[in-house]
Every structure is written in structure tokens, then in C-alpha cells.
Amino acid sequence: MKLLTLFAVLSVTLSLTESLMVCYYGSWAVYRQGDGKFDVEDIDPGICTHLVFGFAGLGHDNRIRVLDPWNELCDNYGKCAFDRFTALKQKNKDLITLLAVGGWNEGSAKYSNMAKSAANRKIFIDSSVELLKAHNFDGLDMDWEYPTQRGGAPEDKANFVILLRELKEALHANGMILTAAVSAGKATIDAAYDIPGVAEHLDLMNLMAYDLHGAWDDYTHHQSGLYAHPMDTGDNVYLNQDFAVNYWIDGGMPSTKITLGVPLYGRCWSLSSEAEHGYYAPATQPGRPGPYTNTPGFMGYNEICVKIKEEGWTVVVEPGCNEPYAYYMPYGRIWCSYDDHDSVAIKAAYAKEKNLAGMMVWSIETDDFHGKCYNRDFDLIKTLVETFTGADIGTPVPRPTTTPDPNKPTTTPHTTPNTPPPEGVCQKPGINADPSNCHHYWLCSPNTSGSYDAVEEPCAPDTLFNPLTLICDWDYTVCALENVCVNDCP
């Protein structure tokens, strides 16, 4: 049995020595409207080596938690998204599917509490392995954002390494791998990560080299510049991909364990003046939201490229820079920094030159998956793959379609007991906003009596629930929307 387990781990980790394309999937995109809606079956399983389902969460009982049971599980007439996601391996025999736990909206305090105790860590690890096995995932992506930060504790830096070590041992024993998404900001890296310790226990590290600037700044800048801008001074000289890659490598992370993250979205501002529209232009408000993502200060690439094509936005690549920005005064003086076909190719060539493991994207559902802008779907991801590998993407070899065994037992993760929801809160299965309180939301599941059971989910500090995008987001972002969360915004 030990030999079989060794072969199972080897078969998964062998792919880590090849050119990698790690694609995160934000599962809430299934709730978007029109051409922005993106479900599991919209994923092309032939263009990514690793698919990461975002996200699972952490319960206050230290067990891993399913955050949207109606969408992700099969119970109570659910949509079985976990099982459909891992079933994509039937179409690509080499595909690796991972479940990400954490993410920005989860905050840090719960993870800090879990990691500080051996007993708490064991509960989390055992429940994670149980959930992964039940739904045929190939491993776990640890996305704690971030140790020691956002309600964490100083001892998180050491405890994170212990957690990774114990996770790796448990996952490898079950033929699975361990990856993690980590920060690219120097201040966070210094505070949160013992780089040699993290390097020792991860099979792969996904470097989130984006969100380096955004509407939290009162000036425009690129959120994912490959190199520093000529005008950068002070700490801004650290906020670029090249610095982050070198800082991790110099700190002890092998280059061959790093995938370089590229955003498939833009960060947007509303310019204070039409006269200033370059880098460092005054901009104290987030840009208007896009039609699909409905988030001020944020637009998917699929939204930006269509706006440029149909409305004639001005596109600029400044001398000495590789990435574009676009602005359009009639659309609320909007200014967006983003990546396009040319800039992602430059970043993939850079990653190959640095001997990195490959590329990573957040996230697949905001690529131009309908092919409206470059006449082929998923152009940014395909460009990353083709540039990094030097070859066109081939057609994957399909696995034989299998029929699930009806006699195979399934495992349902432990969740907070369901409670009757307040009158009128559950309008549909899945995620529902509370019309009178944006500090939380409700997960609603149909029951046998023809009504709903519900679980209350709080949003992390400094966030509010956005009823348009159905996620907890920065409070200032949600409050920038019209007629949303009026009782909870200043």
C-alpha cells in the first residue's frame, strides 16, 4: 500500500517538473449575468495543467467548510460543482484539480487560531483530506491571506510553516499535493513568511503578483507591472513582479517551484481631472463597475477589451513599460491598468528566462472566454502557454467516460447546523443577501418540507457583502455602488 501511495504522489508531482499553467476558477462567476456567466462546463480543460477551485473556507470549529453548498455539493438538489469540476479530468488525462481554501474574503483570524494549536491543525487537516477524497481532488491550495496580517498574530509566521509541514505529510500520504498562493508585496512577505520553511514543504507556490496598486491608492498606477515605473520612489519601487520574483528566490524559494501570477482583470480609477491621465494621475475614487463583475475599481479583461473595441477607449503603453492602460472620459473618467495579449507574452517570456515552473492566472472566468476581442476564446491563457512552451496548445487526450458507482459512499463535510432563515431572506437556493444587513449573507438550501434551511455567513472585518456580485468585498468598494448597503455605509 505504501508503494502504491508513493506511485500516486509521484504521478501527480511529475507534472510539476514540466511547463505549468495554473488556472484559478472563481466559482461565484456562475451567478453573473449575460455573457459574464461562467460555470464549470465553460472551462476548457485542455489549456491548463492545474485547475484550482476557489474557494473553500474555515469553520470556527477548525474544519474546512464548503462555502456554497447548494452550488458545490449534490445534497438537497445541489448543483454538484465540486464533482463536475474534478470530472473535467475525463477530458484531459493529465489535468490536476485542486481545491483552494481561504482567499481574501475569509480574512486571517480564523486561520491564525487554527494554526496555533496541534489539535486544531489536526482537525483542519483531517477534514480537508476527507473532503478532497470525497470529491476526487488531487490536492489542496492553501490561500491564507495572510499570516500575521489582517487579525493574525506574530506567531503565525512560524505556525504557518508547521501547518504546511503537517499538511504535506497528510496529503502526500493520500497521493495528493500541496500548493499555496502567496503575496508579492515586500512588507507582507517580510512579516508573513519564513521563506526557507515555506519552500521546504510546498510542492508549488503560486505568486500573486497583482493587486500591487488599486483604488486604495489616490493615484493611478499599474496593478501588475513587470518592472518598476521610472517615477516610482519609496516603497513603490518594490511593487512590481520582477522585484517579487527575485525577492522570493533570493530568500530561498527555488525558482522551479514558483508560478508567476498574471491578472485576467484590471484595476480601475475615476480620474480627478480629464487633463491628467497618465501614471500618478490624481484619482481618489474607484472606477465605474463593469457590466458582469459589478465591482467598482475592478473590471474583467473580458469587460475591458470589449469596451475598448466597441467604445473606442484610448490605450497607452508608456515608454519603458510593458503593460497597457486605457482611459475613457465619457465612462466616468475611467482609467484601468490591465494586461493584454502582448503584455502577457512578455511576462511569460520573462518567467521562462527566470527558470520558473510556469504561469498562473486569477482567474479563468474573466479571460475573453467568448473570443470577442482576439477571435479565439481564452486568448490570454493560450498566449501564456504558447509563449512559455514555445508550441501551440495541443488537443488533450480524453479519458474514458466513467459512470459513478451508485453504491460508493459519499462524504458530506461537517457544517454549522442549519437554522430556519428570517422571513423572506431565502429567495433562491445558494447565496442570498440580507436586505437589511450587509455585514453577512445567507446560504440557503431547499429542504424536504418545500421551504429553505439557511446558514448565516459573516463577512470579514472591513468588508461588506455585495449583493450584485454575491461576495464579501472591501467596504469602500461596496459603498461606491448606488443604492447598495445604504444602512451599513457611512
**Over 90: is that where the pLDDT of 412 sits?**
no
Look up the pTM and report it. 0.88
Query: Mean pLDDT for the chain?
Result: 90
- CA torsion through residues 113, 117, 119, 124, sign: positive
**Over 70: is that where the pLDDT of 6 sits?**
no
Average the pLDDT over 316-328 and give the result: 96
Check residues 443 and 213 and name the one with the higher pLDDT. Answer: 213
- pLDDT tens for each residue of 226-283: 999 999 999 999 999 999 999 999 999 999 999 999 999 999 999 999 999 999 999 9
Local confidence band at 419 (pLDDT 50, 70, 90 cut-offs)? low
Positions marked active-site: 145
Residues 6+ apart with CB under 8 A from 467: 433, 435, 438, 484, 485
Task: Calculate ∠ Cα 252-225-105, nearest 5°.
Answer: 75
Least confident span in 38-42, 121-125, 287-291, 446-450: 446-450
Query: What pLDDT was estimated at residue 420?
Result: 61
Query: What pLDDT was estimated at residue 400?
Result: 36
- pLDDT tens for each residue of 133-161: 999 999 999 999 999 999 999 999 999 99
Query: What pLDDT was estimated at residue 402?
Result: 35
Instruction: Provide the β-strand partners of residue 58.
Output: 64
Average the pLDDT over 1-13 and give the result: 49
Strand order in the sheet with 430-433: 430-433, 440-446, 452-458
C-alpha cell at 256: 522551479
Query: What pLDDT was estimated at residue 417?
Result: 44
For 62, left (φ over 0), alpha (ψ -120 to 50), or beta?
Answer: left
Least confident span in 220-234, 359-373, 466-480: 466-480
Least confident span in 3-17, 184-198, 322-336: 3-17
Q: What percent of the chain has a predicted confidence (pLDDT) above 90?
A: 76
CB 54 within 8 A of CB 102: no
**Over 80: is that where the pLDDT of 178 sits?**
yes
Q: What percent of the chain has a predicted confidence (pLDDT) above 70?
A: 90
C-alpha cell at 156: 503565525
The C-alpha atoms of residue 66 and residue 291 are separated, in whole angstroms, by 28
- pLDDT tens for each residue of 45-56: 999 999 999 999
Query: What pLDDT was estimated at residue 414?
Result: 39
Local confidence band at 413 (pLDDT 50, 70, 90 cut-offs)? very low
- pLDDT tens for each residue of 72-120: 999 988 999 999 999 999 999 999 999 999 999 999 999 999 999 999 9
Least confident span in 276-290, 306-320, 412-426: 412-426
Structural domains in the chain, CATH included, are 2-265+340-389 (3.20.20.80), 430-479 (no CATH)
Instruction: Provide the β-strand partners of residue 465.
Output: 472
